[in-house]
């Protein structure tokens, strides 16, 4: 199975590029970690994630607790390595000798800039790190034990709070209990208000396109969506893990998060793994939060709220210039794009929101993700057979469009819930679109079959056909990336 973490490869490569950092630490380059895996002993290796509580520094961690009989007298017994988000490597050591199957209690690691205490059970399980200080900053380390049957993959990353009045990134790190491919369990580390919280999540529903694989990644345990709690509030998140199936061997995790689901005082934003592991090139990120936009529309944006009910609209909105009866939840930030009864004011259907002439030179696959929601009128859903929302691509300046993601009514009849159309037969048969924004994604390939003219650009559009009251759609956080 393909490994997606670059940590071990980068560790050896960056080791020789960080001489100035190494010279400040306790041991030299000849004393690298051995990565021994011992399943039922305290002499073993751990992997995890690191952050300072101000989120200035973050990274991935490896710690080896070594049997003193297996090392030379000149070597350090217990070693820790932290690879920061910028590639810098930090070391710390402890020369305390331990006995086999001895409970480890507050084993002190130290170097010029880093110190912490490490504890674990006699068999090496349940590792805990306390009293972490890096460059005089309080910090936190979260660890899991490596075994021969359970590899670990680690990611450092950040989140942005779109509704906090600050764009400063904060730490969102992840430990994956496996090699990162297929179904996996997550342990997360998130700094909020200078406190580090740990939580849980799962990876599932993977779709292999040949070039990349896209998996859904969500908080919780598959039954509850709660990632962790903040006092009386809950934190939930959802997104995608994307990893390559060939060269380059790389991956990335991204998505959205929110606190106080569905409440008027909710906090929300986005998260993404650090560029040190990412392999996709971002072509578009549109969050509809300001007047600087990356799209064009086939008709002028409009709303009839100033003269009528506000149920006819096609507009970037924060909800104040459309009907107050439209109730959507899990909004990331404050604004999104929404449409309802689009031809009610005389427009000709269908209409489009288009991202034009994106440079995809040397890219083999194009990845699209967005949040979608639809207002529930509380009694029944109202999409009819002709209603749809399609996402299409064109390599030939719009002469030919191909649909690669579709939302349709659940039947050819009337008043049915909109659902993802997984087989593109015009009838929604997949996940239902509800009044809560949910992440969806799709991929199309750039090859001789899809792009016979070998164009270096592609256009992507969202095409809408909604022609009656209560037939609506909303979308947000459009992300287009290429590999």
Tokens standing for residue 263:
């409440």
Chain mean position to CA 57: 19
Backbone angles phi, psi at 129, to 5 degrees: -115, 130
CA angle 189, 195, 200 (to 5 degrees): 25
Please state the φ and ψ torsions of residue 341, each to the nearest 5 degrees. Answer: 40, 60
**What's the confidence (pLDDT) of residue 38?**
57
Instruction: Please tell me the predicted confidence (pLDDT) of residue 257.
Output: 93
- For 241-285, the pLDDT digits (tens) are 999 888 778 889 999 998 876 545 678 999 999 976 677 899 999
pLDDT of 443-459, one tens digit each?
999 999 999 999 999 99
Q: In sequence order, which residues have a C-beta less than 8 Å from that of residue 113 and are 6 or more positions away?
A: 24, 90, 134, 135
What pLDDT score does 376 carry?
78
pLDDT at 265: 61
- Contacts of residue 69, defined as CB under 8 A and 6 or more positions apart, other chains included, come to none
Q: How much is the average pLDDT of 162-176? A: 90
Residue 53 and residue 39: Cα distance in Å, rounded?
A: 32
One DSSP character per residue, 144-211 reads EE-BTTB--EEE-EEEEETTTT----EEEEEEESSSSSSSEEEEEEEEETTEEEEEEEEEEEEEE-SS
Q: Assess whether pLDDT exceeds 50 at residue 13.
A: no
Q: What pLDDT does residue 1 have?
A: 32
pLDDT of residue 262: 53
pLDDT confidence of 41, banded at 50, 70, 90?
confident
Q: Can you tell me the mean pLDDT for 329-336?
A: 92
Of how many residues is the chain composed?
A: 483
Note the pLDDT of residue 335.
95
Confidence of residue 29 (pLDDT cuts 50, 70, 90): very low
Q: What is the pLDDT of residues 410-423, one digit of tens each?
A: 998 888 999 999 99
Residue 16, pLDDT score: 29
CB 185: neighbour CB atoms within 10 A? Answer: 14
DSSP state of 133: E
**What per-residue string of b and e applies to 450-476 under the rule 16 or more CB within 10 Å gives b?**
ebeeebeebbbbbbbbbbbebbbbbbb
- pLDDT above 70 (res 144): yes
Cα–Cα distance for residue pair 473/389, rounded to 1 Å? 8
Mean pLDDT of 128-150: 93
- pLDDT for 31 equals 42
Of 472 and 9, more confident: 472
**Predicted confidence (pLDDT) per residue in 344-353, tens digit:** 888 999 999 9
Higher pLDDT, 93 or 9: 93
pLDDT for res 6: 31
**pLDDT tens digits, one per residue of 198-238:** 999 999 999 998 888 999 999 999 999 999 988 888 999 99
Whole-model pTM? 0.84
Q: Which residue has the higher pLDDT, 156 or 77?
A: 156
Phi, psi of 392 (to 5 degrees): -125, 160
Distance of CA 85 to the CA centre of its chain: 16
Average pLDDT in the chain: 87
Distance CA 141, CA 119 (A): 12
Are 22 and 31 in contact, with CB atoms under 8 Å apart? no
Q: What is the pLDDT of residue 213?
A: 92
Give bridge partners of residue 219 from the DSSP assignment.
Answer: 201
What integer pLDDT is reported at residue 147 of this predicted model? 81
Say how far apart CA 115 and CA 260 lie, in whole Å.
36
pLDDT the model gives residue 167: 81
Place of tokens 């674990």: 120
Which element (helix H / strand E) includes 10? helix 7-15
**Residues 316, 238, 376, 331, CA torsion sign:** negative
Confidence at 71, pLDDT banded by 50, 70, 90: low
pLDDT in the model for residue 165? 77
Q: What percent of the chain has pLDDT over 70?
A: 88
Closest C-alpha among 112, 34, 135, 113 to residue 79: 34
């Amino acid at each position: 199975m393909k490994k997606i973490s670059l940590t071990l490869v980068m560790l050896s490569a960056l080791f020789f590029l960080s001489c100035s950092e190494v010279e400040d630490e306790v041991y030299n380059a000849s004393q690298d970690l051995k990565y021994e895996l011992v399943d039922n002993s305290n002499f073993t290796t751990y992997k995890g994630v690191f952050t300072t509580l101000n989120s200035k520094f973050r990274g991935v961690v490896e710690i080896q607790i070594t049997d003193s009989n297996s090392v030379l007298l000149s070597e350090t017994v217990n070693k820790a390595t932290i690879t920061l988000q910028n590639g810098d490597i930090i070391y710390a050591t402890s020369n305390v000798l331990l006995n086999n199957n001895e409970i480890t209690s507050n084993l002190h690691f130290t170097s010029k800039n880093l110190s912490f205490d490490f504890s674990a059970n006699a068999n090496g399980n349940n590792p805990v790190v306390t009293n972490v200080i890096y460059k005089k900053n309080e910090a936190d380390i979260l660890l899991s034990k490596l075994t021969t049957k359970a590899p670990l993959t680690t990611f450092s990353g950040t989140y942005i709070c779109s509704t906090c009045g600050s764009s400063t990134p904060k730490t969102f790190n992840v430990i994956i209990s496996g090699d990162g491919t297929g179904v996996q369990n997550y342990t997360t580390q998130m700094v909020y208000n200078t406190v580090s919280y740990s939580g849980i999540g799962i990876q599932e529903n993977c779709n292999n396109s040949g070039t990349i694989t896209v998996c859904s990644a969500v908080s919780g345990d598959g039954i509850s969506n709660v990632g962790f709690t903040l006092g009386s509030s809950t934190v939930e998140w959802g997104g995608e893990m994307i990893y390559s199936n060939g060269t380059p061997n790389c991956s990335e995790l991204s998505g959205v998060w929110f606190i106080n689901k569905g409440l008027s005082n909710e906090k929300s934003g986005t998260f993404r793994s650090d560029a040190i592991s990412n392999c996709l090139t971002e072509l578009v990120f549109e969050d509809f939060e300001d007047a600087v936009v990356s799209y064009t529309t086939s008709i002028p944006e409009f709303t009839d709220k100033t003269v009528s009910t506000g149920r006819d609209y096609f507009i970037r909105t924060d909800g104040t210039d459309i009907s107050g009866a439209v109730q959507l939840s899990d909004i990331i930030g404050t604004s999104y794009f929404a449409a309802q009864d689009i031809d009610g004011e005389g427009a000709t259907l269908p209409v489009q929101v288009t991202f034009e002439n994106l440079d995809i030179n040397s890219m083999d696959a194009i990845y699209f993700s967005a949040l979608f929601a639809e207002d529930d009128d509380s009694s029944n859903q109202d999409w009819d057979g002709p209603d749809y929302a399609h996402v299409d691509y064109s390599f030939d300046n719009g002469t030919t469009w191909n649909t690669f993601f579709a939302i349709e009514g659940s039947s050819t009849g009337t008043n049915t819930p909109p659902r993802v159309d997984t087989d593109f037969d015009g009838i929604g048969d997949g996940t239902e679109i509800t009044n809560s924004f949910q992440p969806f994604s799709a991929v199309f390939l750039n090859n001789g079959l899809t792009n016979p003219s070998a164009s270096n650009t592609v256009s992507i559009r969202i095409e809408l056909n909604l022609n009656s009251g209560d037939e609506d759609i909303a979308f947000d956080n459009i992300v287009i990336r290429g590999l």
